[in-house]
Amino acid sequence: MEFKIQSISEITQQAQLFLNYLETQLHNKQTRVIAFYGKMGAGKTTFIKAFCNILGVEDEVNSPTFALINQYFAGKETIFHFDFYRIKSVEEAFDFGYEDYFYSGNYCLVEWPEMIENLLPEDFIKVQIIENEDKTRTLIVE
């Protein structure tokens, strides 16, 4: 499945379409881990912000680059947002108990999953964000 974002003004609409798509895909999955792949500046955090807003998060959504994980609330829903860009070893993920988050049944939105790829659940959802030459974005969901 692909989602095209022509401009920043379309990101909320595309985040809603993405959520609608996820709801059809997640009913058979044990986890709700979504791994966002893309180059620096591709728009991973920007899309995650829009997605969290669609879910009902009222707090400010920021990349947890230094904290590794942020927690947001949307009504009764808890959302965990990870950024593994600065992780130096997989052991760091073990140290903060990644399994408790990944298998909690809550949304886990993961930036830079390449750093811990072998720890991702089998049924994670892969989202590739590509910055096109014309500055539009394409989200490819696998």
Tell me, what's the pLDDT at 23? 85
Enter the tokens of residue 142: 């696998």
Q: What is the mean pLDDT of residues 16-23?
A: 91
pTM for the model stands at: 0.92
28 has pLDDT over 90: no
Domain containing 18 — which CATH number? 3.40.50.300
Q: What CA–CA distance (Å, rounded) separates 33 from 66?
A: 20
Tell me, what's the pLDDT at 127? 96
Q: How many CB atoms lie within 10 A of CB 72?
A: 21
> Which pLDDT tens digit goes with each residue over 69-107?
999 999 899 999 999 998 888 888 888 889 999 999 999
Burial 13-48 (b: 16+ CB within 10 A, else e): ebbeebeeebeeeeeeeebbbbbbbbeeebbbbbbb
Domain count, the chain: 1
More confident residue, 136 or 30: 136
Query: Could you list the residue range(s) of the whole structural domain that residue 46 is in?
Result: 2-141
Q: What CA–CA distance (Å, rounded) separates 46 from 63?
A: 9
More confident residue, 67 or 130: 130
Contact 19, 139 (CB under 8 A): no
